[in-house]
């Protein structure tokens, strides 16, 4: 039986508590309450829009109805449940025209649309040299509800267009729900020409409810406590352990696949749930990926699962080099790693000569440290949920 809209989030949250997947948290409960209120408001607005819909005559009136709905901005440290709450809300929301996307991917798409409009204008195919209104119109026609994972502004090109873009989106009735590790007033902190970005922050505050998830508990760390985050040797037992840890960390939610954009290329991500991404060794080290690709992955997820790492040697120096770069990047960014491997870290590389053999000593040392309680307890990431 379909749950009442006004308690759909609460029912899903209660079910996770009853199943033992999560424990009751008063801060999360407040977020659940706020998301239930938002879902109810969205349902009411959707119904009102349908009743008043008489074609183009009432198109602007419908946008005005949606523009009155305030979104939600949830911020807090790693492991406080922001991504889990977003997962639940995406599942239960009544809105069909919804888009969940990493903020980086969204802005890449925006820049591509701006470029396409400018090229079309040069060819005389469209009128008006300002690309922001038509781009906002495109997005609003496609999406009524935008859900952003890891809302973070680090690029000046993004910062300079956000104010005008979101003014247009909000006027067209687009509703925003976002997670972030930083409060709105600290977005684009110390960025170039930040004073030009400040009006966007004030507008954001006026259009979304700000909710600080300040729970003292890092639930991701709690889930990993005592778990064998380095599983060896490979085999069916290792596969089962990896499946169990992934399910436990992601609250048993069904994973989905997605793609990350990096410098015009797409990185396939086979399985994602609750801020954790799962890859095989072949996915990340048998493909032509480089350090910037691994950094893009580190910027998107706070926990990485890596399955089936084999023993490496000079004969597989390309794969070894990629694995070294991958571990360096994850380590430098404080990413939690759950890995299944053919051997213990110090035995993962066979051979005593060559650059890779020398570099792998550091990799083995880092892999050992990354399984320690001290590393897992570290919270040195600034922008990822």
CATH of the domain at 237: 3.40.50
Claim to verify: residue 115 and residue 206 sit in the same structural domain: yes
Claim to verify: residue 189 and residue 282 sit in the same structural domain: no
Q: What CA–CA distances, in Å, run from 229 to 9, 226, 302, 363?
A: 31, 9, 14, 16
Q: What does 229-269 look like in DSSP terms, one character per residue?
A: SEE-S-SHHHHHHHHHHHHHHTTTPPPEEEEEEETTEEEEE
Claim to verify: residue 199 and residue 262 sit in the same structural domain: no
DSSP state of 336: E
In a domain, 184, yes or no: yes
CA 72 to CA 66: how far, in whole Å? Answer: 14
Claim to verify: residue 183 and residue 236 sit in the same structural domain: no
Task: Render each residue's pLDDT in the chain as its tens digit; 385 residues.
Answer: 355 677 899 999 999 899 888 888 899 999 999 999 999 999 888 877 766 554 444 456 667 778 788 899 999 887 788 888 998 999 999 899 999 988 888 998 999 999 999 999 999 898 888 999 999 999 999 999 999 988 888 888 899 999 999 999 999 999 999 999 889 999 999 888 899 999 999 999 999 999 999 877 777 667 676 678 999 999 999 999 999 999 988 888 889 999 998 888 899 999 999 889 999 999 999 999 999 999 999 988 989 999 999 999 888 989 999 999 999 999 988 899 999 999 999 999 987 766 677 788 889 999 999 988 888 877 444 333 3
Claim to verify: residue 103 and residue 229 sit in the same structural domain: no
In a domain, 385, yes or no: no
Check whether the bond before 314 is cis (ω within 30° of 0).
Answer: no
In a domain, 384, yes or no: no
Nearest C-alpha neighbor of 26 from the set 222, 211, 201:
211
In a domain, 301, yes or no: yes
Claim to verify: residue 198 and residue 224 sit in the same structural domain: no
The last residue of a domain, from among 151, 177, 212: 212
In a domain, 132, yes or no: yes
Dihedrals phi, psi of 279, to nearest 5 degrees: -130, 165
The last residue of a domain, from among 172, 195, 212: 212
Claim to verify: residue 187 and residue 255 sit in the same structural domain: no
Q: What are the tokens at 263?
A: 């410098």
In a domain, 170, yes or no: yes
In a domain, 383, yes or no: no
Domain count, the chain: 2
Nearest C-alpha neighbor of 9 from the set 30, 38, 32, 29:
32
CA 157 to CA 107: how far, in whole Å? Answer: 10
DSSP state of 68: T
The answer to whether the beta carbons of residues 294 and 257 sit under 8 Å apart is no
Claim to verify: residue 49 and residue 71 sit in the same structural domain: yes
- What per-residue confidence (pLDDT) applies to 226? 65
Claim to verify: residue 189 and residue 300 sit in the same structural domain: no
Claim to verify: residue 136 and residue 238 sit in the same structural domain: no
3-state secondary structure of 345: helix
Residue range(s) defining the domain that contains residue 78: 5-212
Claim to verify: residue 291 and residue 321 sit in the same structural domain: yes
In a domain, 382, yes or no: no
The last residue of a domain, from among 184, 212, 240: 212
The answer to whether the beta carbons of residues 334 and 379 sit under 8 Å apart is yes
139-143, long-range: CB < 8 A, 24+ apart: 139/110, 139/113, 139/169, 139/174, 140/63, 140/169, 140/172, 140/173, 140/174, 142/97, 142/99, 143/97, 143/98, 143/99, 143/174
Claim to verify: residue 124 and residue 253 sit in the same structural domain: no
First-to-last alpha carbon distance for the chain, in angstroms, is: 33
- What per-residue confidence (pLDDT) applies to 62? 67
- What per-residue confidence (pLDDT) applies to 381? 42
């Amino acid at each position: 039986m379909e749950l009442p809209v006004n308690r759909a989030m609460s029912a899903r949250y209660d079910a996770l508590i009853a199943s033992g997947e999560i424990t009751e948290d008063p801060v999360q409960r407040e977020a659940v309450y706020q998301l239930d209120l938002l879902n109810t408001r969205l349902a009411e607005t959707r119904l009102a829009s349908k009743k008043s819909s008489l074609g183009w005559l009432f198109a602007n009136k419908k946008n005005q109805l949606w523009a009155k709905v305030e979104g939600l901005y949830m911020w807090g440290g790693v492991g406080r449940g922001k991504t889990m709450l977003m997962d639940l809300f995406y599942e239960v929301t009544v809105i069909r025209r919804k888009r969940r996307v990493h903020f980086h991917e969204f802005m890449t798409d925006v820049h591509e649309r701006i470029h396409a409009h400018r090229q079309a204008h040069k060819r005389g195919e469209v009128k008006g040299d300002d690309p922001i209104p038509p781009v906002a119109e495109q997005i609003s026609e496609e999406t009524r509800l935008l859900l952003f994972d890891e809302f973070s502004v680090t690029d000046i090109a993004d910062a300079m267009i956000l104010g005008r873009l979101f003014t247009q989106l909000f006027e067209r009735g687009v509703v925003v729900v976002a997670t972030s590790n930083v409060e709105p007033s600290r977005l684009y902190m110390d960025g170039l020409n930040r004073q030009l970005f400040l009006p966007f922050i004030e507008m954001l505050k006026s259009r979304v409810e700000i909710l600080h998830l300040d729970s003292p508990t890092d639930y991701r760390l709690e889930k990993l406590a005592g778990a064998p985050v380095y599983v060896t040797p490979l085999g069916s037992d290792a596969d089962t352990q990896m499946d169990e840890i992934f399910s436990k960390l992601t609250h048993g939610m069904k994973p989905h696949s997605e793609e990350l954009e990096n410098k015009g290329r797409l990185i396939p991500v086979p399985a994602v749930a609750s801020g954790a991404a799962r890859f095989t060794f072949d996915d990340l080290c048998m493909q032509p990926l480089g350090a910037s690709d691994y950094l893009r992955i580190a910027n998107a997820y706070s926990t990485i699962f890596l399955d089936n790492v084999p023993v490496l040697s000079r004969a597989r120096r390309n794969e070894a080099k990629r694995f070294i770069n991958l571990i360096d990047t994850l380590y430098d960014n404080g990413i939690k790693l759950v890995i299944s491997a053919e051997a213990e870290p110090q035995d993962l590389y066979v051979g005593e000569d060559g650059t890779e053999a020398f570099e792998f000593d550091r990799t083995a040392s880092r892999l050992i440290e990354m399984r320690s309680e001290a590393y897992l307890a570290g919270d040195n990431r600034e922008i990822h949920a």
